[in-house]
Structure 1
Amino acid sequence: MNKLVLIDGNSIANRAFYALPLLSNHKGIHTNAILGFTMMVNNVITNEQPDHILVAFDAGKTTFRHKTYKEYKGGRQKTPPELSEQFPFIRELLDAYDIPRYELADYEADDIIGTLTNRAEKEDFEIVIITGDRDLTQLVSEKTTVYITKKGIADMEKNTPKTLQEKYGLHPHQIIDMKGLMGDLSDNIPGIPGVGEKTALKLLHQFGGTVESVLEHSDEISGKKLKEKVEENKESAILSKKLATIHTDSPIEVNLKDTKYNGYQEEKVIPFLKEMEFKQMLRNFEDSEQITNKAKLEATDFEILTEIKAEHFAKETALYIELENDNYHTANFVGIAIHSEKGSFFFSKETALKSSDFKKWLEDEKQTKLVYDAKKIIVSTNRLGIKGQGITFDIMLASYLLNPSESIDDFYSVATRHQFENIESDEAVYGKGAKRKIPSEDIVAEHLVRKAFAIAKLTEPLITELENNKQLELMEELELPLSFVLAQMEIYGVKVDTLRLEEMKDELLSRLTNLEISIHALAGKEFNINSPKQLGSVLFEDLKLPVIKKTKTGYSTAADVLESLSGQHEIIDEILTHRQLGKLQSTYIEGLLKVTDKNTKKVHTRFNQTLTQTGRLSSVDPNLQNIPIRLPEGRKIREVFVPSEPNWKIFSADYSQVELRVLAYISQDKDLIYAFQHDYDIHTKTAMDVFHVGENDVDALMRRQAKAVNFGIVYGISDYGLSQNLGITRKEAKAFIDRYFVSYPAVKEYMEEIVRSTKEKGYVETILHRRRYIPEITSRNFNIRSFAERTAMNTPIQGSAADIIKKAMILMKERLEKENLQARLLLQVHDELIFEAPEQEIELLQKIVPDVMENAVTLSVPLKVDSAFGNTWYDAK
Structure 2
Amino acid sequence: MRDNKILMVIDGNSLMHRAFYAIPPLSTKKGIYTNAVYGFMNMLFKLIEEYHPEYIGVAFDRKAPTFRHKEYKEYKGTRQKTPEILVPQFDTLKKLLSAMNIAIYERDGYEADDILGTFARIAGEKGMKAYLVTGDRDALQLIDENVNVLMTKKGITDIRIYDEKALHEDYGITPAQVIEMKSLMGDSSDNIPGVPGVGKKTAFKLINKYGTLENVYAHIDEISGKKLKENLEKYKAQAFLSKRLATIIKDAPVDISIADCCYDIPNSLELKELLMELEFSSILSRLDFDMKSESEKPDIKRPKTVINIEDASSLKDVLSSIKAGDTIALLVEDDGLSIASNKDRVYMVPITHNLIDMGLNYNEVMDILKSILEDRDVKKITHDAKKLMVKLSKEGICLDGVYFDTFIAAYLIESTKEKYDMAQLMYDYTGLNIDRVDASDILILYTAMKHILKEHDMFTLYEQVEHPLITVLAQMEIEGFKVDKNILRELDKEFTESLNTLTSEIYDLAGEEFNINSPKQLGVILFEKLDLPVIKRTKTGYSTNIEVLEQLQGQHPIIDKVMDYRQIMKLKSTYVDGLLAVIDPEDGRIHSSFNQTVTATGRISSTEPNLQNIPVKVELGRQIRRVFVASSDDHVLLDADYSQIELRVLAHISEDPTFIEAFKNNQDIHARTASEIFNVSIDEVTPEQRGSAKAVNFGIVYGISDFGLARNLNISRNQAKTYIESYFARYPMVKEYMDNVVHEAKLKGYVTTLMGRRRNLPELNSRNFNIRSFGERVAMNTPIQGTAADIIKVAMNRVFYELKKRQLKSKLILQVHDELIVDTHKSELDEVRDIVKTEMQNAMELRVPLVVDIGVGYSWYDAK
For this structure pair, what is the TM-score category when the shorter chain's length is used for normalisation?
0.5 to 0.7
Partner of 1:390: 401
1:434-449 matches, cutoff 5 A = 447=436
> Which residue type is aligned with residue 715 of structure 1?
Y
Distance 1:587 1:360, change over 3 A: same
Pairwise CA distance, 1:30: 6.4
Partner of 2:680: 693
Instruction: State the distance in 2 between where 1:517 and 1:35 align.
Output: 53
Pairwise CA distance, 1:409: 5.8
Distance 1:576 1:800, change over 3 A: same
Distance 1:133 1:532, change over 3 A: closer
SS state at 1:629 partner? coil
Distance 1:827 1:420, change over 3 A: farther
1:669-684 matches, cutoff 5 A = 669-684=656-671
Distance 1:493 1:859, change over 3 A: same
Q: 1:376 aligns with which of 382, 387, 409?
A: 387
Distance 1:701 1:480, change over 3 A: same
Question: Any idea what the Cα deviations from partners look like across 1:843-869, whole Å, max 9, x if unmatched?
Answer: 222222111001111111111100000
1:638-649 matches, cutoff 5 A = 638-649=625-636
Q: 1:346 aligns with which of 339, 345, 348?
A: 348
Instruction: State the distance in 2 between where 1:554 and 1:150 align.
Output: 36
Question: Any idea what the Cα deviations from partners look like across 1:550-606, whole Å, max 9, x if unmatched?
Answer: 122221111111111112112111111110110111111011111101221111000
Distance 1:758 1:34, change over 3 A: farther
Distance 1:280 1:624, change over 3 A: closer
Partner of 1:722: 709
Pairwise CA distance, 1:310: 5.3
Contact 1:715 1:790 in 2 (8 A): yes
Instruction: State the distance in 1 between where 2:102 and 2:373 align.
Output: 64
Partner of 2:456: 469
Distance 1:34 1:763, change over 3 A: farther
Q: 1:311 aligns with which of 318, 334, 337?
A: 318
Partner of 2:279: 277
Instruction: State the distance in 2 between where 1:763 and 1:683 align.
Output: 31
Q: State the percentage of identical aligned residues.
A: 44
Q: 1:584 aligns with which of 571, 579, 586?
A: 571
Partner of 1:861: 848
Contact 1:396 1:408 in 2 (8 A): no
SS state at 2:548 partner? helix
Instruction: State the distance in 2 between where 1:132 and 1:784 align.
Output: 32
Distance 1:744 1:131, change over 3 A: farther
Distance 1:311 1:348, change over 3 A: closer
> Which residue type is aligned with residue 365 of structure 1?
R
Partner of 2:338: 337
Q: 1:828 aligns with which of 795, 815, 834?
A: 815
Distance 1:569 1:84, change over 3 A: closer
Partner of 1:782: 769
Partner of 1:401: 412
Pairwise CA distance, 1:453: 2.8
Contact 2:328 2:379 in 1 (8 A): yes
> Which residue type is aligned with residue 631 of structure 1?
V
Pairwise CA distance, 1:411: 3.6
Contact 2:652 2:847 in 1 (8 A): yes
Distance 1:769 1:29, change over 3 A: farther
Pairwise CA distance, 1:392: 1.3
SS state at 1:642 partner? coil
Distance 1:408 1:32, change over 3 A: closer
Pairwise CA distance, 1:512: 0.7
Contact 1:27 1:763 in 2 (8 A): no
> Which residue type is aligned with residue 340 of structure 1?
S
> Which residue type is aligned with residue 309 of structure 2?
I
Contact 2:741 2:779 in 1 (8 A): yes
SS state at 1:418 partner? helix
Instruction: State the distance in 1 between where 2:283 and 2:817 align.
Output: 42
> Which residue type is aligned with residue 338 of structure 1?
I
Distance 1:287 1:729, change over 3 A: closer
Pairwise CA distance, 1:338: 1.4
Distance 1:715 1:129, change over 3 A: closer
Q: 2:502 aligns with which of 505, 512, 515?
A: 515
TM-score (norm: length of structure 2): 0.68
Instruction: State the distance in 2 between where 1:841 and 1:363 align.
Output: 29
Instruction: State the distance in 1 between where 2:29 and 2:577 align.
Output: 40
Instruction: State the distance in 2 between where 1:336 and 1:405 align.
Output: 29
> Which residue type is aligned with residue 306 of structure 2?
D
SS state at 2:612 partner? coil
Partner of 1:816: 803
The answer to whether residue 541 in structure 2 is matched with residue 560 in structure 1 is: no
Instruction: State the distance in 2 between where 1:27 and 1:289 align.
Output: 17
Number of aligned positions between the proteins: 645
Instruction: State the distance in 1 between where 2:575 and 2:88 align.
Output: 51
Contact 2:31 2:761 in 1 (8 A): yes
RMSD, aligned α-carbons: 4.2
Instruction: State the distance in 2 between where 1:348 and 1:707 align.
Output: 58
> Which residue type is aligned with residue 727 of structure 2?
Y
Distance 1:636 1:81, change over 3 A: closer
Pairwise CA distance, 1:451: 2.8
1:51-130 matches, cutoff 5 A = none
Contact 2:267 2:289 in 1 (8 A): no
Partner of 1:708: 695
Distance 1:528 1:310, change over 3 A: same
Contact 2:26 2:35 in 1 (8 A): yes
1:519-534 matches, cutoff 5 A = 519-534=506-521
Pairwise CA distance, 1:132: 10
Instruction: State the distance in 1 between where 2:819 and 2:442 align.
Output: 34
Question: Any idea what the Cα deviations from partners look like across 1:733-789, whole Å, max 9, x if unmatched?
Answer: 100100000001111111111222222222221111112222122222222222221
Instruction: State the distance in 2 between where 1:602 and 1:575 align.
Output: 34
Pairwise CA distance, 1:819: 3.0
> Which residue type is aligned with residue 316 of structure 2?
K
- Unaligned 5+ segments in structure 2 are 1-15, 43-53, 55-83, 120-265, 354-359
Q: 1:321 aligns with which of 332, 339, 344?
A: 332
Question: Any idea what the Cα deviations from partners look like across 1:98-137, whole Å, max 9, x if unmatched?
Answer: xxxxxxxxxxxxxxxxxxxxxxxxxxxxxx99999999xx
Greater mean alpha carbon deviation, residues 281-290 or residues 699-708? 281-290
> Which residue type is aligned with residue 381 of structure 1?
L
> Which residue type is aligned with residue 304 of structure 1?
I
Instruction: State the distance in 2 between where 1:797 and 1:874 align.
Output: 29
TM-score (norm: length of structure 1): 0.67
Pairwise CA distance, 1:322: 3.2
Q: 1:624 aligns with which of 601, 608, 611?
A: 611
Instruction: State the distance in 2 between where 1:763 and 1:289 align.
Output: 23
> Which residue type is aligned with residue 663 of structure 2?
F
SS state at 1:384 partner? coil
Partner of 2:60: none
Instruction: State the distance in 2 between where 1:637 and 1:675 align.
Output: 35
Instruction: State the distance in 2 between where 1:472 and 1:84 align.
Output: 37
SS state at 1:336 partner? strand
Contact 2:331 2:382 in 1 (8 A): yes
Greater mean alpha carbon deviation, residues 634-643 or residues 300-309? 300-309
Greater mean alpha carbon deviation, residues 284-293 or residues 380-389? 284-293
1:765-780 matches, cutoff 5 A = 765-780=752-767
Partner of 1:603: 590
Question: Any idea what the Cα deviations from partners look like across 1:20-56, whole Å, max 9, x if unmatched?
Answer: 97853346566799999x99xxxxxxx9xxxxxxxxx
> Which residue type is aligned with residue 654 of structure 2?
S
Partner of 2:641: 654
SS state at 1:848 partner? helix
Q: 2:482 aligns with which of 495, 499, 507?
A: 495
The answer to whether residue 307 in structure 2 is matched with residue 302 in structure 1 is: yes
Instruction: State the distance in 2 between where 1:601 and 1:534 align.
Output: 41
Partner of 1:189: none
- Unaligned 5+ segments in structure 1 are 1-16, 40-46, 48-79, 98-127, 136-148, 159-262, 324-333, 425-446
SS state at 1:811 partner? helix
Contact 1:495 1:642 in 2 (8 A): yes
Instruction: State the distance in 2 between where 1:34 and 1:557 align.
Output: 37
SS state at 2:807 partner? coil
Distance 1:756 1:657, change over 3 A: same
